[in-house]
Amino acid sequence: MDFVNHLLLIGAALMFAGILLGAFSSRLGVPFLLVFLVVGMLAGEDGLGGIRFDDYGTAFFVGNLALAVILLDGGLRTKLSTFRVALRPSLVLATLGVVLTALATGLFSAWVLAMDWPTGLLLGAIVGSTDAAAVFAMLKSSGTRLNERVSNTLEIESGVNDPMAIVLTTILIQQLMTPDDVRGVALLGRVVLQFGLGTVLGLALGRALAWAMQRAALGEGLGALLLCSGGVAAFALVNALGGSGFVAVYLVGLMVGNRTSRSSENLLRAMDGMAWLAQSGMFLLLGLLVTPAAIPAILPAALAIALFLMLLARPAAVWLSLLPFRFAAREVGFIGWMGLRGAVPIVLAMFPMLAGVPGSGTLFNVAFVVVLASLLLQGTSVSWSAHRFGVGLPPRDEPLVRSTFSDDHLAILEFPVGERSPALGVLLRTLLLPEGARVLAVLRGGAVLDQDAAGALRTGDVVMLVAPDAEVDHLSDMFARVDASVRRRYYGDFVLEGAASFDEVCAAYGCVAPPDLAGLTLDEAMRRRAPRIVDGDAVQIARLLLVAREIVEGRVVKAGLKLERAPGK
């Protein structure tokens, strides 16, 4: 009984310390995940806690379970519409990009560590993929809005690139341990099987789980447990059948999130807690697993490998992989820099440990340093690099409350009115609300008022509305509390409707529409120049610089306008 109490005390104390320190460190830009990792190290055998933990089997089990929950949560939050602009480039990055990164990093590692090339390539495969836990957590916690093409590419890539890293790792372990059993055709078949089974079964099981959740009258807490248990079961089943459980569980979350109204904000919040529990527990355990006393011996070489990976191998692989696609150079640069490494490389580094590969301890320690360096350098620079590469969008205020409650994808929303809100001083009945949006009430000083009794909106008012899910971003702009000048600098001073005649827009601003754009709407003209247009994309036509301001189902609903100055003016 004492053992159980001690275990509970230690686990709870570590979690408490990690969350408390993370709350303070996040204000300085230090990622939460890095804090949990460091807390685990400090509690380990060479740290203040002196806890000796070397059970790689348990750590491997916990790591896989946690990654399954994290990927499930990531898929749940991904809209199918994001695949319109990001699926093909993401798949290329998840396959070719991982191979190129692993190859370059592996050869460099073999040279720096003076090891044979198969072992070096094994290290390259271990650290070659981006990590979904790190990418999802960093993008969410940074508060930075990225343009849809960049954010979706990063999220989908990180969600589906683990199978390639796993296949490469297992192949190279076999090459080192039983080289006669490795055959080229068999390797290709294994890659196809991993991705194929993972995709087919993930979609099928996701549809089945979505069907079950639609018919189960459960609250958000039990709904999250049902979702987690179903997702983890799918992960284990697909792995047992020889497919990729990582791809499958991500697709299960994707299907549930896009096919059931139960993926309301309350369910997402419950799943957010599950995902944070999985991430924090995993990073604490991985921190306990490492032996800091062994790090100094390999630190210079490991740092060299980390810098080579971040500054050369990953950017070069991204550039080559995205060449066939219409990505701007600044977008390629940001995606290349945001190749975050997290728990996956450490979990993969356990493969050679469990298989008894010679020198596997060195591989584990180097992978750990690479993850630390990535979280410290890349994880803390999300906001700065988004601004530096010009892929960040102006901030947008989210509603205080957002709850989806019906199969019609309607949401109940609460928006506060701030001192800089465009709605301040406006009568609600005069607001041009999006189609399907209705005002329910205004909360003012503890009183509930209807829109007639409320009169002109005041600072501190909270407006309650019911609106289609698709119009939430539009309403966020109407009640924005951020400085409107930031959005004007980005989108321009004039806002145009996408349905407006492009000929008339050109005539109004003193230019002539090019012959191939004559007779088109503004939306059609912009999409003719940029077929996969997303929010924030700029299209230069004659003297007009048009910036996509609101995109709905791939169409430009609103565009900002910036005018090019005439020569000599």
**pLDDT single digits (tens) 286-308:** 788 887 888 888 999 999 999 99
The answer on pLDDT for 5 being more than 50 is: yes
Q: Per the structure block, which two tokens stand in for 343?
A: 């728990």
Q: What is the mean pLDDT of residues 309-321?
A: 95
Least confident window among 19-23, 77-81, 196-200: 19-23
Q: Which residues contact 446 (CB under 8 A, 6 or more apart)?
A: none
Whole-angstrom distance, CA of residue 183 vs CA of residue 185:
6
What is the average per-residue pLDDT within 505-524? 83
In sequence order, the 6+-apart residues with CB closer than 8 A to the CB of 231 are: 68, 69, 72, 209, 249, 252, 253
Q: Indicate if 491-563 has the same CATH topology as 56-391.
A: no
Structure tokens at 217: 């009258």
- For residue 415, the cross-strand partners are 463
Q: What per-residue confidence (pLDDT) applies to 44?
A: 76
> How many CB atoms are located within 10 Å of the residue 484 CB?
14
Find, among 310, 288, 384, the residue nearest to 50 by Cα: 288
Angstrom distance (rounded) from CA 201 to CA 267? 24
CA atoms within 13 A on the CB side of 153: 28
pLDDT at 262 over 60: no
Instruction: Report whether pLDDT(182) > 60.
Output: no
Domain range annotation of the chain: 56-391, 401-478, 491-563
- Residue 267 or residue 441, greater confidence: 441
- Is the pLDDT reported for residue 260 higher than 70? no
pLDDT at 100: 94
How many residues does this entry show for the chain?
569
**Mean pLDDT on 478-493:** 69
Alpha helices in 244-264 (DSSP H): 245-259
E strand or H helix at 229: helix 220-240
Which stretch, 130-134, 264-268, 457-461, 551-555, has highest mean pLDDT?
457-461
In this prediction, residue 418 carries a pLDDT of 76
550-557 mean pLDDT: 80
The CATH number of 491-563 is 3.30.465.10
The arrangement of strands across the sheet holding 401-404 comes to 401-404, 410-416, 462-468, 438-444, 447-449
Is the per-residue pLDDT at 409 higher than 50? yes
User: Over the stretch 350-392, which tens digit does the pLDDT of each residue have?
Assistant: 888 888 888 888 898 899 899 889 888 888 888 888 888 888 8
Run of H or E including 559: strand 555-563
449 forms beta bridges with: 442
**CATH code of the domain occupying 56-391:** 1.20.1530.20
Query: What pLDDT, on the 0 to 100 scale, is given for residue 410?
Result: 74
Q: Distance between CA atoms of 184 and 189, rounded to whole angstroms?
A: 9
The pLDDT > 70 percentage for the chain reads: 85
220 Cβ contact list (under 8 Å, min separation 6) = 264, 266, 267, 269, 270
Homologous superfamily (CATH) for 401-478: Regulator of K+ conductance, C-terminal domain (3.30.70.1450)
CA distances from 147 to 85, 157, 387, 560 (A): 11, 16, 12, 15
What per-residue confidence (pLDDT) applies to 485? 64
Tell me what percent of the residues of the chain surpass a pLDDT of 90.
15
User: What's the rounded Cα separation, in Å, for the pair 236 and 232?
Assistant: 6
pLDDT tops 60 at residue 417: yes
Which of 105-119, 148-162, 459-473 is predicted most confidently?
Answer: 105-119
CA-to-CA dists, residue 250 to 55, 140, 157, 193, 241, angstroms: 28, 17, 11, 17, 17
Q: Does residue 149 contact residue 85 with C-beta atoms inside 8 Å?
A: yes
Most confidently modeled range among 203-207, 289-293, 474-478? 203-207
DSSP secondary-structure letter at 151? Answer: H
Query: Best-predicted range by mean pLDDT among 332-336, 398-402, 442-446?
Result: 332-336
pLDDT at 83: 72
Average pLDDT over residues 130-158: 76
Note whether 293 and 70 are within 8 A (CB).
no
Interatomic CA distance for residues 441 and 466, integer angstroms: 10
Average pLDDT over residues 116-129: 90
Tokens matching residue 330: 């600044």
The more confident residue out of 45 and 195 is 195
